Structure 1
Amino acid sequence: MRREKYSIEDLLHLMARLRSPDGGCPWDRKQSFATIVPSTIEEAYEVAEAIEAEDYDHLHEELGDLLFQVIFYAQLGREAGHFDFSAIVDTLVRKLLRRHPHVFPSGELYGDNRGGVTDEDGVKANWEAIKAAERGAKGESGTLDGVALGLPALTRAAKLQKRAANVGFDWHDISGVLDKIEEEIAELREAVESGDSESAREELGDLLFSCVNAARHLKVDPETALRQCNRKFETRFNAVETSLKKQGRRVADASLEELDQLWQRVKRAENQKA
């Protein structure tokens, strides 16, 4: 009998059936922690894409796909005797209670919820202190310890810079960052003109790192900013290509000057709509 609405318990049961040696799905049974990591990353980006597009009709579906990744890991963990879904939930709730003493001063979910710190700066200071203590308990004594190597490079750069800034290693304001960007551009030009490709690669990395620093000072997520720029470029390029197709031509057939004129026309049309 089909249920009116399924629950998390149904999802856990479904996952166990998919992994069952007796009548389960051959593909699901072959998977491991490592093999589903790419899917997890992909699903997380699809959630981000739906949010940025304000596609709320499909967001709940994308969130479900991401949740399924957690359920999959939980089943793998249960089979291997490492952990199960209840352990994931318990660990998460305990961590959130520990990191929100301003809401749960007793450390209990249903205890006295009269908080202490009420301003945002105080909350952030508490949060960072608690996280630092957690890292210390894991043996991560260095300021930059524990920043995941698997993060996208722009995101990891922002996290490394934030950690350093928390201990005072930072520019006083964005003007210093902008000066640094100009300095890195000059050094990149010099490396390019010298023909030293290895030096140019290094200087380009320094420039990107400085741009991430500018994003951090502007309180802009660099990954989000670059994704938005990618979408803008894609939209404009498609418009240029469509314009040429209407003339029976390809982008490769047009001169750079003509392409630039079409590009500027697309930009002007965007500005008029705005």
Structure 2
Amino acid sequence: MLFDQLAYRKTIGFVQAASLALVAAGGALLATPAHAAGDLLVAPTRVVLDGRRGTEVILNNIGDEETTYRISLELRRMMPDGSLEDVAVEDANETEKASLSLIRYAPRRVTLPPDQPQSIRIGLNQVEGLKDGEYRVHMLFRAIPKAPTLVTDPAANNEIKIQLTPLYGITIPVIIRRGDLKATAAIANPRIVDAPGGKALEFDAVRQGNRSVYGDVRVRKDGKGEPLFEAKGIAIYPEIGQRKVSLPLKPEDIAELRGAVTVGYYETLENGGGLIGEVRTVLP
């Protein structure tokens, strides 16, 4: 399942779960919850700027050791299956190259003691002749590895080995919108399919317009107020008009979803929670 609000990049290591209520200040149009990868917590997980003001992203080191993080910008392109593919600068199109020139941010490197928050300020550059449209970069926060530790193994005749420290990186999309941009989306062909590790609810999400669409998916049965199933943070970026969405199901979800249901795609609560599109179907 793709969660746009957080496109995790795993290098090596483990995940440590955590939670923290943080809200980005400034001109961000969205204030999504914080998410952790490794020992780093980032909030918000998605930033949308309208070209008038900048904003902040808050980092917090939730580990036990002081860690230095490097902040950089990347280009990523959404594929029809919903995955995000890295794009080298030399392979970038005109819109992607312009996106890199729009963003300025500071600092680009921070050293954080445990439980120490740090704000990263994000601003916009004025680019002459910039066309109306949606521009996007992905901001990467990654720990700088410390020198490897040398240890001896008594079971191997005191042979010296290098002990590597597991590290993670985390990315969030930074979206800039210029001009009067609109988009609509529809859901088609919902089905339950075989997936790695079990079953998944799969459907096609179709977008029209000149900006991305982002929201939550809820599946309901007539007469029941609460959703039977919900998935947050589903995006369709402007570079594609249609993508496949695949949402893993628990065994107990499958039995409840069978029969007549309504699959709805809604704006996030921060954006009003309005209905983007829905479809009624019968899931076998």
Q: Please report the TM-score for the alignment, with normalisation by the length of structure 1.
A: 0.22
The structure with the largest strand share of the pair is 2
The structure with the largest helix share of the pair is 1
Q: Please report the TM-score for the alignment, with normalisation by the length of structure 2.
A: 0.21
Structure whose CA Rg is larger? 1
Higher relative contact order (CA 8 A, sep 6+): 2
